Structure formats: structure tokens, C-alpha cells
Structure 1
Amino acid sequence: MSGPSDDASDDSDASDDSDASDEEFDAISAVIAREFPTRPVTDRSSVATGNRKRTVVVRFGDGSDPPAVVVQTGPNERALATEATLTRAIAARTDLPVAQALAGGPLSSIDETSETSGGYLVTERQSGTDLHEQFATLDASSQQTLAQTFGRALACLHEAFRFDAYGSVGVERDGAVDWHRLLTDSDPGSMLAVEAVDHVVVTTDWPTWVQSYASAGVDRLPPAFDDLRPRLRTMVDAGVASLPSSPVSTLYPWDLRPGNALAEGETVTALLDWGEPLAAAPGLGVAKVEHLVCDWYVTDAGPLRRAFRAGYADVRPLPPVPDVYRLAAVVASAVDGEGVVTRPRYPERTGEAAVAFHRERLAAILD
């Protein structure tokens, strides 16, 4: 949550991937040899972000299409398959700009003699520059235009997907991933279902899910938030008591933000990194994405928030966003998957300044 996405962006985010471990380097090389055996590679650069996936931009020198691809490898094949499935479904069901999945599968299928686990995914490389680095430098009008774009994008996703429960979304667990169907089906979204993954509760009772999700976020906060923790827990308990029991469940893209987008001027050219999706009521998605787009980069978030909500309302009515959703959005964004406090703004705040940002946002909700 602190920089560019796990996916590819422009060259300013990339570095030579020679510092990768031998295992990671060999996996990328093996994928290239498997999927592009006759194409000469002129450059490969690692996107130095993410702690669960290795992402490398590979450029070819033969003038054929595609001129460059993004290769991702990771320890969880099914997670990569879910990301590919969702990306292809988004492309089929909406007009949002996403990267086309070109190939993928288990790493063991490349070298059956090894004990390599995990999977790989190859996508097209989209044009544009990293919006995380440029958003804060844009004038107010351009920022509002982009905020409106993110609001519209979220609304399109809410219109396009429906689920029968709340929780983690993944490819159906009925055996091995059907990569052939995933990559050839024009809309493989029917392969997606809510399922039990890690610590995320799966339920058809919405207040129970919000209670678990928000409480887990509060529990993950480091000691610097200890003085706020009792009030946060009290607010969660009080907030869930007034929630509807079973609102519509739709896609919750919890990391939809400028840091996972490419742009050319005021035009978003790619929305990236659709990993680990969730299913939730639409109001929670509004709270989370609004926080990451409007509060994350500027001190006066009011104009951006109005633009974001206007973009959403252009597609569908804005859902209720009670304070417990906003609290859940902030605590879920304050700490990354490794328990480290995330770095807001750009240039990014670190250390005590980062903690202060998250405390200010939580205090505003509590007060």
C-alpha cells in the first residue's frame, strides 16, 4: 500500500532484476523460455514492489506483438489464477482498462522434474506512467477528473459482479485450476466464487462479516494505536448493530487506487493488480476506495471526495456509507499484509509521520 502496484508500470519504477534470488530468476527465465521460445529478449526489469509476487517487465527485440509483457510468479498458483480470471471477467463485463492475461499455469508444468511450487501469469504490458508518483503533483482539476474516474470504475465493478456470500473471492476449488478454460473463455467470471481463504470469514450474515473484518483490522494495528483501540472496538460493536442483515454482495476491490494505475495525463490507461479480491456490500467498497483515492494524497480531500462520488453516481446510486465502513476502510489500509504501517502521501510519509496520518483519519471518524 506504499508505492507502485505489483504490476508493471513505466520504466521509472523498474530496475534490473539481477538482484533477484536464483530461484526467482530461474522461474522468470523458465516462463520466458516456455511461452516465448523464439523471441529475443532485449531487456527485463523488475518492478520493485510487492512481497508476495515477483513481477518483471520483459521486452522483445523482434518487432512482433506484443513488444513487451509482464511476467509474475508467486507461491500461490490459485491466487494468480483468481487474478487472471477476475481481470478477464472485468474486461468482458465492463469498459475498464485492464491488462489482458496471455498465459499462466503452475510452475511445476514447466519443469516437471523439480519440486517447484506456485504459479506464473503473463499479461500484456499497458502504456502509461505510474499514477502513484504523479497524482500529488497534478493540479486540482486533473486530480478531480481522475477521482471521478475511480468513482465510475468502482460503480462499474459493483454493477458487473454479484456473489451469494461475503468473504474472499477465488476460482472454484474443484480440483486443479482449469487454466485452458480461464485463458480461452471470453468471460471466465463464472469460475469465481466466495470461499474460505486464510483468516477472512465467509458468511451470508453481513453484520457478522463486518464485525470480523473491522475487528481484525483493529487487532492488527501496532502499539502506536493502543490508546485508540478501545474506542475503535466500541465503535465497531455499535456500528454493526444497525447494519442490514443481507445487502447485495458485489466485488470489493480493496486495493483500487492510484498506486495501482497507469495514466496519460487525465486518462487512466490501466487499472492493475486485482489480486486477493473480496465480496462485500457496495458501501464498504466506496469507503475503502474513497479513502485510498481522496484522503491518501492530499490534505483537503473534500473536492476529491465530491468528484469521486459524482463519478460513482453517474453509473449507479451511491450506497449508504456508515461510519463503521469508514473505520474498517482506514484500519484495513493502515497496515500491510506483513504487519508494517503503510506509507501515505507522495513523497511517502514514513515512521511517525505515517502513523500520525492514520491516527488523524481514525480520530476524525471517532469524533
Structure 2
Amino acid sequence: MSRLTAAFDGESAHAAAAAALESIDDAVVDVESIDRGRRKQTALARFANRGPVVVQVCAERTWLRTEAALLSAVRRRTFVPVPPVLAAGAHDGVAYMLTAYVAGDDLHEAFVSIGEGARRDLARWFGAALARLHEAFRFDEHGRLELSDGTLTSDGRDWGPWFRDYGRRAIDRLPPAFDPLRDDLRAVVAAESDGESDARLFPWDFRPGNALVAGDSVTAVVDWEAPLAAAPALSVAKSEYLVADWYVADPEPLRQAFREGYADVRPLPAVRPAHRIAAIAESAVDSGGEVTNPRYPPVGRSDAIAFHRDALAAVMTDT
């Protein structure tokens, strides 16, 4: 328990992690905390006689239950590599998930240092992978995905009301530096029609920062928490921003590669300005309310604000 105490904050988190590790028939020799977002606690556990595993705990039980089910389904239905789920459950109200450890370098760090050709190949892979996820996961309505009787289902929102609420909340979370744009951004999002009915998986954080690579190949995509169902165009807009615009001064070659990869699998959806505004605004602020930092190494806060603000202004200019 002392090793878990060092890696997990709180007695309930320690107990849930211990319950997860009970499924492994070997002695734990080390537990190392991993920084993987604000919603859950993550650690790497090493053993005396077997390979390491990743332990995650979360006070919101439905989040990890849904993520565990989605990971298993992604492995069955697509070519997208995700860590195998070894165990999932809850202990004293805290959810846990145990996955196999997948080796690889953090693509967030490697993406800017690899050659331009390899970077375009990876952007194309992300496009094809997102398209395959869209092909494999279709839902009746839009919104948050939950596990109901063993099946992933959305919480049943129509497209127009759900998207307008999603976009408005993203715009409202932007800091005061965005005030000169805010009313115009809201107006474009508010004008989105109710006509879109195609609800597909929206892995809202599908980006190099959540990918591991060996050489030029993706070995795993991690962090599938809180997945959504949404129109494919919103997914395309958000992933394209996080794959292409995020890292390089001239994103157009990466955008083109991303779109070509998607089109290799299924027709590219029509991405409208409202989709781009919602995607950029939602990407600009993290779950803790802090402005996100693009590039690698990440830029400072003032440059980050300018980066996101310029991206939104460019959409408004095109509009």
C-alpha cells in the first residue's frame, strides 16, 4: 500500500488501485505516477516476474466504465491500436481500470523532430484512423456516450440543440482576451441548423499528444475518456486542428495529408465554419479552465492566446 500511497492521492484511490492490482498474480515492485489529465489518476505498476500494467482510478464511475467498454470495442472493430483492458470495476465507489502497458515514445514530443515526410504520413494515419472510427461507431443521437446494458449509447440529443450548447459553452469558457470575437463566434454557432442527423463516435482528444510511437508507427492511442457522439464534421475539425495546426508554422501540408487519409476510408464530410469555431474554442481551454499551449516545446500563455485567437479570427474572415 505504501507504493500506492506515493502514486495515488486519497485513501479511496489507494484502495481502488489495490483492488485493480489484485487481478495480477505477481508481486508489485514499483508504482510510478503518470500525469494523464485532471479527471483521473494514472500510474504504471511494475512486477517481479511479468510486464508492467497501467492502473487508472476515477471518482466518476461511469467515465472509466465507458472508457473500458470503448477500448475493447475499438480493438475489435478497427485497426486503431489501443491498450488491452485487463480488468475494470469499482471499489468503494471509486472506479478502476487496468490495461496492459504499451511501449512507445510520446508523439507529442517527437512530432516536431521527425522528418516532414514522416510527419505527413502520421497526419494521414490520423485521418484514416478517425474515418475508421466513424465507420465503426454509429449512434442514434448525439451527446455523451454511456454504457447501458453492455451497449454504448448516447444520451439522446438532437444535433442542433446539442451542438449549439456545445459550441456556446466552449466560447463562453474563453478568457477575456477573446471578447472582441466572442459575439461573432456565438452568432455563427447559433446559426447552425438542426438538419444534421449522422451521429458517429467523437473521440474529442484524438491527437499526437495522446499517441505513442515506435519509429514512424503508432503503437497505441490512449486517453479515450468521456467520449461523445457527434456529426463527423466536428470530429474532423477538432482532430485536424490538433494534428496539423498545433505543431507547425505551415499546417497546410499536414491538413491535406489528414484529409487524404480520411478520404481513403470514407467520404470527407463538409466542415462548416461553425464546426471549426466550436472545435478551436473547445481546444483552447482545458478541463481546468486553463488556456492550452500549442507547439512543442509549448509556448507561453500569451503566445497560446494569440495562437487560438488568430485561428478563430481566420475562420471568421473566411466566413
State whether structure 2 residue 133 is matched by structure 1 residue 157: yes
Letter of the 1:345 counterpart: R
Structure 1 position 70, deviation (Å):
0.4
Structure 1 position 34, deviation (Å):
2.0
Q: Distance in 2 between matches of 1:24 and 1:350?
A: 36
Q: Distance in 2 between matches of 1:144 and 1:328?
A: 25
Letter of the 2:178 counterpart: F
1:51 counterpart (38, 44, 63): 38
- Equivalent residues of 2:13, 2:58 under 8 A apart: no
Structure 1 position 49, deviation (Å):
3.1
**Number of residue-to-residue matches in the alignment:** 314
Letter of the 1:207 counterpart: G
Structure 1 position 265, deviation (Å):
1.6
State whether structure 2 residue 171 is matched by structure 1 residue 203: no
Q: Distance in 2 between matches of 1:219 and 1:123?
A: 36
Structure 1 position 263, deviation (Å):
0.4
Distance 1:210 1:27, change over 3 A: same
Structure 1 position 22, deviation (Å):
4.5
Distance 1:58 1:158, change over 3 A: same
Q: In the alignment, what sits opposite 2:218?
A: 268
Q: Distance in 1 between matches of 2:188 and 2:30?
A: 52
- Residue by residue over 1:52-89, the C-alpha shift from the partner in whole angstroms, topping out at 9 and shown as x without a partner, is 11100111121x4xx11100001011110000001111
Structure 1 position 360, deviation (Å):
1.0
- Equivalent residues of 2:7, 2:33 under 8 A apart: no
Structure 2 unaligned spans of 5+: none
State whether structure 2 residue 81 is matched by structure 1 residue 97: yes
Structure 1 position 42, deviation (Å):
2.7
- Equivalent residues of 2:90, 2:96 under 8 A apart: yes
Q: Distance in 2 between matches of 1:19 and 1:99?
A: 21
Q: How does 1:187-336 map to 2 (within 5 A)?
A: 191-195=151-155, 202-204=156-158, 206-238=159-191, 240=192, 243=193, 245-336=195-286
State whether structure 2 residue 15 is matched by structure 1 residue 27: yes
Structure 1 position 340, deviation (Å):
1.1
Distance 1:165 1:25, change over 3 A: closer
Q: Distance in 1 between matches of 2:125 and 2:62?
A: 30
**TM-score between the two structures when normalised by the length of structure 2:** 0.94
Distance 1:343 1:97, change over 3 A: same
Q: CA RMSD in A?
A: 1.7
- Equivalent residues of 2:7, 2:32 under 8 A apart: no
Query: Secondary structure of 1:328's partner?
Result: helix
Letter of the 2:75 counterpart: A
Structure 1 position 332, deviation (Å):
0.7
2:70 counterpart (61, 86, 102): 86
Q: Distance in 2 between matches of 1:17 and 1:294?
A: 40
Q: Distance in 2 between matches of 1:105 and 1:20?
A: 17
- Equivalent residues of 2:142, 2:199 under 8 A apart: yes
Q: Distance in 2 between matches of 1:17 and 1:51?
A: 18
Letter of the 1:104 counterpart: A
Letter of the 2:298 counterpart: E
Q: Distance in 1 between matches of 2:173 and 2:14?
A: 35
Q: Distance in 1 between matches of 2:184 and 2:109?
A: 35
Q: Distance in 1 between matches of 2:217 and 2:116?
A: 15
Letter of the 1:121 counterpart: M
- Equivalent residues of 1:80, 1:120 under 8 A apart: yes
Structure 1 position 244, deviation (Å):
5.8
Q: In the alignment, what sits opposite 2:112?
A: 136
- Equivalent residues of 1:99, 1:272 under 8 A apart: yes
Identity of aligned residues (%): 46
- Equivalent residues of 2:247, 2:295 under 8 A apart: yes
**TM-score between the two structures when normalised by the length of structure 1:** 0.82
Query: Secondary structure of 1:193's partner?
Result: strand
Letter of the 1:26 counterpart: H
Structure 1 position 152, deviation (Å):
0.5
Query: Secondary structure of 1:273's partner?
Result: coil
Query: Secondary structure of 1:346's partner?
Result: coil
State whether structure 2 residue 35 is matched by structure 1 residue 76: no
Structure 1 position 208, deviation (Å):
2.2
Higher RCO (Cα < 8 Å, 6 or more apart): 1
Q: In the alignment, what sits opposite 2:98?
A: 122
Q: How does 1:335-354 map to 2 (within 5 A)?
A: 335-354=285-304
Structure 1 unaligned spans of 5+: 1-15, 109-116, 175-187, 196-201
- Equivalent residues of 2:154, 2:229 under 8 A apart: yes
- Residue by residue over 1:233-283, the C-alpha shift from the partner in whole angstroms, topping out at 9 and shown as x without a partner, is 122233x1xx46133111011100001110012100101111101111111
- Residue by residue over 1:156-198, the C-alpha shift from the partner in whole angstroms, topping out at 9 and shown as x without a partner, is 00000111111111111x6xxxxxxxxxxxxx6xx11112xxx
